Structure formats: C-alpha cells, structure tokens
Amino acid sequence: MKKEIAEQISNLLNEENQLVVNYTANKILESKENYIYEEENGVVKGFLECKKVQWYQTEVCHLTVKKDFRGKGLSTLLINKALDHSVTNLNARIIQCTIREGNEASEGAFNKAEFVKVASFYYPISGNNVGVWQKVVSLRA
C-alpha cells in the first residue's frame, strides 16, 4: 500500500466515522495487510479493515465508502472480499463487526450479507450504543 492510499484511508476514517481515535497514514501503514480497499485512478472509493482476533475469528472494522461512490454496491463487494479473505487466508469460522446503532447504511449492508445482530452495549467513551453483528462461516463436518 502506498502512503497516498493510506492518507486517503485515514482521512476518510476521520471524516466519515464517529471514532474515539484519530487515524494517521502511519497508523494505517502499520497494519496495511488488514485493509481491503477499492481504488480507481489513485482515488480510494471505499475500504474496510479485516483482522484476525482469535484463532477462529476475524473482525471487520470501519466499512467506509466515499460519498461519490455510495449506492453502487461497493459495500457489498468489500464485505464479500472480507468474507473470502477471512475464510481463505485467515481460516476464520466466525466473522464479527460492531456497528454504531442508528448507522442504517452499515446495518443494512451487513444484514444483506447475512450477519446477525447478537448483542448490543453502551460505549461510554463515544456515548453510542453499539451492536455486535456476527456471521458463522464454518462448515459442519
């Protein structure tokens, strides 16, 4: 990942999400292998972070699509890439994400990808209620 891409990702993260941490290009580059993104002519259209958190589980974070590219199926494409990466490369059996309650676009995208909301909690640092969404991808023996 080039630094210019990391800068675009960090800027979009900071502008489009209600995060309690400020992201920088260097922070993105430290874990660049976790980022799945779509770009065109050097412009990041959308991205997410997909990281292993347990031997059986990955977490999808910060699904973000730039305003100019919304409503064109990019969220679905990115989630599907994260699912494929989680199963194929990270051997995940459960994929999880957290979504700020009221974020209808993200809730809709993950619901469409057959994630199920399994819990919710209050996060006092942000002042938001947060939903925990999961998808089981393990095949039965």
CATH of the domain at 63: 3.40.630.30
Going by pLDDT thresholds of 50, 70 and 90, the confidence category of residue 22 is confident
| Residue among 1, 27, 2 nearest 13 (CA) | 27
In a domain, residue 126? The reply is yes
In a domain, residue 37? The reply is yes
SS3 10: helix
Mean pLDDT value across the chain: 92
Residue 141 has a pLDDT of: 58
Q: Which domain holds residue 107?
A: 3-136
| Residue among 110, 107, 109, 111 nearest 129 (CA) | 107
CA distance 27 to 101: 26
State the sign of the Cα–Cα–Cα–Cα dihedral 119, 34, 44, 27.
Answer: positive
Distance of CA 89 to the CA centre of its chain: 17
What is this structure's pTM? 0.90
The amino acid at 11:
N
In a domain, residue 141? The reply is no
CA distance 13 to 9: 6
Residue 140 has pLDDT above 70, yes or no: no
Residue 48 has pLDDT above 90, yes or no: yes
Number of domains in the chain: 1
Average pLDDT over residues 98-127: 93
